[in-house]
Amino acid sequence: MKTLFDKVWDAHVVTKVKDGPTQLYIDRHLCHEVTSPQAFSGLRERGLKVFRPEQTTLTADHNIPTMGQEKPIRDEISRFQVETLAKNARDFGLTYYGLGHSKNGIVHVIGPENGFTQPGMTIVCGDSHTSTHGAFGAIAFGIGTSEVEMVLASQCILQTRPKTMRINFEGKLNENVGAKDMALYMISQLTTGGATGYFVEYAGEAVRNLTMEQRMTLCNLSIEMGARGGLIAPDETTFNYIKGRQFAPKDERWDEALAYWKTLKTDEGAVFDKEVTFDAAKIPPMITYGTNPGMGMPIDGTIPTLDDIDNAGKISFEKSLKYMGFEPGEKLVGKQIDYVFLGSCTNGRIEDFRQFTDYVKGKKKADNVTAWLVPGSWQVRRQIKDEGLDKILQEAGFEIRQPGCSACLAMNDDKVPAGKYAVSTSNRNFEGRQGPGARTILASPLVAAAAAVNGKITQP
């Protein structure tokens, strides 16, 4: 009796190193400009080629502007980094979706939307949110640059087999509650290191009922509780999403793949190292109040007091609230905010834009709010236009920017100024994440929309 994780892992074991890690075969490798240049330099120094060039795809996303992409990047160092990626693609014969390419976008958005991401695969990228692809029943995880070099050189990686955890969301979600709230709720319960050493399978009625976009949001945030990855057994929702996408199997290959993918589920009676169950009906719309994603609470909740925190954690807790400008025991609902960011590999997909648009339709953006709406890819941006969402957003006072990681990590000009509050649909509220001194409140697209039109934290 095997878990879904065991089935996929076991199918990719090349060999087990004696008293050491497993040599795991990698089906798909995605690269971006920030974590790959040193890996390609390493190959050059060692005189190595890319072993399986057709299994690696490159895109520029982290360090690019979200306005004026048709012009050369102004920041010289950023431009050089993106040019280096293009050069590496040419020198090593790799597919590259650079700026201006119709398939360009955030690495974890373009993988699924083009059909690269498929059930049962192993997928890696030099980016911790690679866990996103687990939504398709793949073992997908983030790696460091030395490991990027390993995969380029050998299509393999050395990994210690993680422990397994199943997180069940039983029952149905409430209205106005989605995958982002599930994730922030779960991380607030398990803490930011609570799943370190584990690979998580998400299960239960509430997970089964999620769309692929929402499943991606949930799996995306697995790393924020320390898990290497999170995955969901593929089902009809998954198969319907993949079918017909450019790199999806076709004709007879499709039938063959489907037959295999249908076997990818945890056997009845298979045992996990740890199992956790949440009641989906108890999950409210969530926000964060601190400087790690585990510091979350119901939108109408109160920040914990010092008495709630253990001794070793008190210094960090106080430092965190001081940074955020909040007091222990404070309520945040009604608090004025300055910025709203809709986007990132967590919530930059078409469904996130539909949800945001649906809320702001017929309303107006608050004057005190600067809003950055950044689609996850050019395909998402095209879809926003095709569905007429851009017009509704424009009438409400919002504009759509060009795709990229943008204010999620603020490597480009999209930086929240010091001391300002941003309600952000991204994944990390770390100190300085959205710009030096920026104060991030993580939330769902719906909570972000409510904040954008009311100018303050508002129950959606």
Partner 1 sequence: MEKFKTITSTYVPLPIENVDTDQIIPARFLKATTREGFGDNLFSDWRYDKEGNPKEDFVLNDPTYTGEVLVAGKNFGSGSSREHAAWAIGGYGFKVVVSSFFADIFRNNALNNGILPVVISDEFLSELFASSSKNPKATVTVNLEEQTIVNNETGRSESFEINAYKKDCLLKGLDDIDFLMSNRDKILEYENKRAFSY
What residues from 78 to 117 belong to the interface with partner 1 (CB under 8 A)? 78, 80-81, 84
Q: How far apart are CB 359 and partner 1 at their closest, in Å?
A: 30
**How far is residue 109 from each of residues 129, 269, 358, measured CA to CA in Å?**
11, 34, 22
Assess 254 for contact with partner 1 (CB under 8 A).
Answer: no
- 176, 196, 383, 459: residue in contact with partner 1 (rule CB under 8 A): 196
- With a CB cutoff of 8 Å and minimum separation 6, the contacts of 221 are 131, 180, 183, 184, 187, 230, 293, 346, 427
Assess 334 for contact with partner 1 (CB under 8 A).
Answer: no
Assess 23 for contact with partner 1 (CB under 8 A).
Answer: yes
Assess 70 for contact with partner 1 (CB under 8 A).
Answer: no
Assess 61 for contact with partner 1 (CB under 8 A).
Answer: no
Assess 251 for contact with partner 1 (CB under 8 A).
Answer: no
The CA distance from 197 to 78, in Å, is 34
Side chain identity at 199, as an amino acid letter? F
Could you say which residues in the range 149-178 bind partner 1, by CB under 8 A?
149-150, 153-156, 158, 160, 162
- 4, 28, 61, 168: residue in contact with partner 1 (rule CB under 8 A): 28
The first and second tokens of residue 172, run together, are 């149905």
The CA distance from 161 to 118, in Å, is 21
Which 3 state secondary structure label does DSSP give 431? Answer: coil
The CA distance from 357 to 395, in Å, is 11
Could you say which residues in the range 284-303 bind partner 1, by CB under 8 A?
292, 294
Assess 269 for contact with partner 1 (CB under 8 A).
Answer: no
Could you say which residues in the range 216-235 bind partner 1, by CB under 8 A?
223-224, 226, 228
- 63, 217, 238, 426: residue in contact with partner 1 (rule CB under 8 A): 63
Assess 246 for contact with partner 1 (CB under 8 A).
Answer: no
Window 370-409: contact mask with partner 1 (x via CB under 8 A): ---------------------------------------x
Assess 325 for contact with partner 1 (CB under 8 A).
Answer: no
- 428, 445, 452, 457: residue in contact with partner 1 (rule CB under 8 A): 428
Positive or negative: CA dihedral 146, 147, 150, 151: negative
Assess 45 for contact with partner 1 (CB under 8 A).
Answer: no
Q: Closest Cα partner for 179 from 352, 9, 302, 316?
A: 352
- Left if phi > 0, otherwise alpha if psi is -120 to 50, otherwise beta: which for 400? beta
**# residues near partner 1 by CB under 8 A:** 79
Q: How far apart are CB 173 and partner 1 at their closest, in Å?
A: 27
Q: How far apart are CB 77 and partner 1 at their closest, in Å?
A: 4
Q: How far apart are CB 451 and partner 1 at their closest, in Å?
A: 23
- Give 334's DSSP letter: T
The CA distance from 435 to 445, in Å, is 21
Q: Which helix (H) or strand (E) holds 276?
A: strand 274-279
